Copies of this chain bind each other. A is one copy, B any other.
Amino acid sequence: MNSNQIEPRLLLGPGPSPVVERILEAMARPTVGHLDPQFLALMDSVSQKLRWVFETANRMTFPVSGTGSAGMEAALVNVVGPGDTVVVGVNGVFGTRIAEMSRRMGGDVVAVEAPWGEIVPPEEMIEVLEAHPGARLAALVHAETSTGIHQPLDEVGAFLRDRDTLFLVDAVTSLGGVPVEVDRRGIDVCYSGSQKCLGVPPGLAPITFSPAALQRIQERESPCQSWYLDVGLIAGYLGAERRYHHTAPINMVYALLEGLMVVEEEGLEARFARHREVGGRLQAELLDRGFQLFAQEGYRLPQLTSAALPGGREEGPLRKRLLEEFHIEVGGGLGPATGKIWRIGLMGAGATHETVDRLLAAVDQVLAS
């Protein structure tokens, strides 16, 4: 199997999302060195545009050299050390993963659990945080990719604003699709992935740290468990010193910059409106066809729709037909939703009415036979 034999797919799963040609072209530009002044200037542009899309003034904003889960690990490993209390909202795969990673860092995890497909009630998070005033971190998943839940952040952000507990938000599937608003919401650590609503191939995890998070990092007693993801060391490369830390994935950074330019040309508001409109339409059309939406009403992500098939139809074989006969990828369920739902992503370049038309036509055909 070679890459020239790859049959293109319409990527409507939970990510990666469709990548437009100009981003693939950017990625194929000549590789230069990670200490080349040209590349350093390009990295500065990436950081600047990431600040804009995260809606933050945080100086320490950059792409982690890994995929989304490396972003999660980078976020946690820098601020969590042995004995730190970490309050985590858990209502799907990614909250579970935050809890698991935090434990591996020696954190004392307090999970605020909610059923899969529902939000973590902000008032419950706040109640638990009130009971743990010394907590190092409160963590929420903004867009729970395993369920399609759009988690409210404002209340917890407001509650934490004058407290020492840092606020961490997983924005892997939200950045560029729905407003993340890092500064307005008082988020201290936030990360994403290149391959969701930013429409870039997987391989980079944009991340941002607030001044309060950086202060915690400076003051921590135990060193960061990870050398590769240590923000204190990465800062030496990103800062005026330009000290070698590790070799950045040069061509992936070209792709990310191009992707951010695409976002910039569209504008954040217009991009959010497009995702809202197209995702809303898909959800209405699926309901019309007898699908049951898995995520709680009022808290559905437009960019990631989770739905059980009409009439109790088995999801696996029909998903396979979508892929093989129509070259359309949608995702299956995870955890307790395994075998029960489809997860349909309309992210980045995939969030168009044409995409929805093509998907629905295929869905109607596989359901009819």
Cβ proximity bits A2-28 to B, threshold 8 Å, 1 near / 0 not: 111111110101011011000011111
Stretch at the interface among A31-39, A124-132, A267-275, A303-311: A31-39
| A24 nearest CB neighbor, chain B only | B28
User: Are B226 and A15 in contact, CB atoms less than 8 angstroms apart?
Assistant: no
Stretch at the interface among A114-122, A208-216, A247-255, A277-285: A247-255
* Given A1-B41, A70-B65, A258-B3: A16 in contact with B227 (beta carbons within 8 A): no
Name the contact of A203 in the complex, choosing from B3, B5, B39, B65 (C-beta under 8 A): B65
- What separation, in Å, do the CA atoms of A31 and B350 have in the docked complex? 13
| A11 nearest CB neighbor, chain B only | B33
Chain B CB within 8 A of A58 CB: no
User: Are B32 and A257 in contact, CB atoms less than 8 angstroms apart?
Assistant: no
Chain B CB within 8 A of A329 CB: yes
User: Are B32 and A6 in contact, CB atoms less than 8 angstroms apart?
Assistant: yes
Least CB distance from A297 to B in Å reads: 27
Least CB distance from A349 to B in Å reads: 11
User: Are A252 and B203 in contact, CB atoms less than 8 angstroms apart?
Assistant: yes
List residues of A (53-70) whose CB comes within 8 Å of B's CBs. 65-70
Dominant secondary structure of chain A at its interface with chain B: loop
User: Are B2 and A45 in contact, CB atoms less than 8 angstroms apart?
Assistant: yes
Stretch at the interface among A97-105, A176-184, A288-296, A354-362: A97-105
Name the contact of A31 in the complex, choosing from B11, B31, B100, B245 (C-beta under 8 A): B11
User: Are A1 and B42 in contact, CB atoms less than 8 angstroms apart?
Assistant: yes
- Please, which residues of chain B bring their CB within 8 A of the CB of A5? 38
- What separation, in Å, do the CA atoms of A109 and B302 have in the docked complex? 51
Most B-side CB within 10 Å, residue of A5, A42, A66, A228: A228
Least CB distance from A315 to B in Å reads: 14
Q: List 14 A-B contacts (CB under 8 A).
A: A1-B42, A2-B257, A3-B254, A5-B38, A28-B28, A34-B202, A69-B245, A70-B246, A97-B227, A104-B225, A195-B247, A201-B249, A201-B251, A203-B249
Apart from A66-B228, A70-B228, A72-B228, what 4 extra A-B contacts exist at CB < 8 Å?
Answer: A24-B31, A28-B28, A201-B251, A251-B252
